[in-house]
Structure 1
Amino acid sequence: MTHAPAPPKSPFSDIAPALGTYTDEVLFGDVWKRPGLSPRDRSLVTVASLVSGYRINEMPFHMKRALENGVTHDELIEAITHLAFYAGWPPASTAIGIARKVFEQADAEKKGH
């Protein structure tokens, strides 16, 4: 059984404490724990949204989280390939490069443990 990873403490709590609290308590505390979608499905939706919006800063964190939530490498690549036709080629090709790095890091972490 895959357990949802514990959300990290917001990296900007030191400079924006209210935003950090909203991120930790509301986004990862309430929104991600709603029963209507599994963490796996939420991860797929989130990654699709980030790819579509060309949100490259957030993609690595959420792609890694998607893997932790049970989304496979192949499923992430298939989602990105599908999005190329809806979000555009540049966002998809950029997302593939980010996915490659995330996969390499995840594989290295597996081998290290």
Structure 2
Amino acid sequence: MTKDRKPEGPRQQFGDVAPALAGYSEDVLFGQVWEDPDLSPRDRSLITVAGLITGGNSEQLAFHLGKARENGVSDKELIATITHMAFYAGWPKAMSALTAARSVLAS
């Protein structure tokens, strides 16, 4: 993410219900944390994808798989990450991640 491009969605998705959380998502998470120069956007994307798989958070995974592609992670690397995580996060979580990946990689 660049400073002039905020993520699309938090305020539209849940800003009416939780405006503070939407603001923190846009300003702190995607503004400050994602812009921290100590990790490249590519590395940050791989870490985020692995973390989401580990937590079984497949609902947010589709967005971050797409973001990883934008940040230079190849489709082959994303599938390798999911496969690798099967052994550390669990087979069912990796299989759920593949469901999210199938739709993202098809686009």
Fold shared per TM-score above 0.5: yes
Instruction: Please list every run of 5 or more consecutive structure 1 residues that lacks an aligned counterpart in the other structure.
Output: 106-113
Q: What do the CA deviations read for 1:33-84 (whole angstroms, capped 9, x no partner)?
A: 0011011111000000000110011010111111111110000000111111
What is the CA-CA distance between 1:9 and the residue it aligns to? Answer: 4.2
Moved runs in structure 1, 4+ residues, more than 6 A? none
More helix by share: 2
Residues 1:60 and 2:89 are matched in the alignment: no
For 2:34 and 2:62, locate their aligned partners in 1 and report how far apart those are by CA, in whole Å: 18
For 2:38 and 2:16, locate their aligned partners in 1 and report how far apart those are by CA, in whole Å: 32
Instruction: Please list every run of 5 or more consecutive structure 2 residues that lacks an aligned counterpart in the other structure.
Output: none
**Counterpart residue identity of residue 89, structure 1:** W
For 1:9 and 1:59, locate their aligned partners in 2 and report how far apart those are by CA, in whole Å: 14
What is the CA-CA distance between 1:93 and the residue it aligns to? Answer: 1.1
What is the CA-CA distance between 1:94 and the residue it aligns to? Answer: 1.2
Q: How many residues align?
A: 102
CA RMSD of aligned residues (A): 1.2
- SS where residue 86 of structure 1 aligns? helix
Aligned counterpart for 1:30 among listed residues 29, 32, 39: 32
For 2:43 and 2:106, locate their aligned partners in 1 and report how far apart those are by CA, in whole Å: 23
**Counterpart residue identity of residue 25, structure 2:** T
What's the TM-score, normalizing by structure 2?
Answer: 0.90
- For 1:64-83, what aligned pairs fall within 5 Å after superposition? 64-83=66-85
Residue matched to 1:20: 22
Q: Which moved more, 1:9-18 or 1:25-34?
A: 9-18
- SS where residue 33 of structure 1 aligns? coil
**Counterpart residue identity of residue 50, structure 1:** L
